[in-house]
Amino acid sequence: MIAFFTAFSVASVPSAMANDGKNPIPVEMKFMGYIKNHLLFKLNFVATAENNEFTILIRDNQNNLLYRDNIKGEIFSKSFLLNTEEIGDDSLQFEIINKKTKESVVYEVTRNSGVKEEMIISEVK
């Protein structure tokens, strides 16, 4: 089981991140760095009053559901702290679903460790 620490915060996210029509969900995912051998990721949302309900799903590379949360808000952030010892080099998928439109975006997080460690976040859907 992967230990998740999540924090929900209302923040003033720059309006430049607003949905430009290319991404069906007004969200961006960022790798924020490390905190004591844990990976910190942040999802930033800039939604509208009409489309402000989302479901966040996190799955491992065997498609096991590790985390699920329903959230509602317009401009906010949600942070995730992942234990690197528990996930190893396995990839994780973060899926964000708009509850009204049923559209989704999927981010895949792949950690490659070795002499040089890199973090790759890519939108897959």
Report the alpha-carbon angle 1-65-78, nearest 5.
85
Helix intervals (H) in 38-125: 84-87
Structure tokens of 8?
Answer: 């929900």
Q: What is the pLDDT of residue 15?
A: 36
pTM of the model: 0.74
* Mean pLDDT for the stretch of residues 9-24: 45
* Mean pLDDT for the stretch of residues 30-44: 88
User: For 40-85, how does the pLDDT look when each residue is reduced to its tens digit (9 = 90+)?
Assistant: 899 999 988 888 999 999 998 889 998 999 999 988 999 998 887 7
Average pLDDT over all residues of the chain: 79
Structure tokens of 58?
Answer: 């996190």
Q: What is the pLDDT of residue 100?
A: 92
Residue 20 has pLDDT above 90, yes or no: no
CA quadruple 110, 122, 82, 117: dihedral, nearest 10? 50
Could you tell me the CATH superfamily of domain 4-123?
Macroglobulin (MG2) domain (2.60.40.1930)
Backbone CA torsion sign across 84, 89, 104, 100? negative
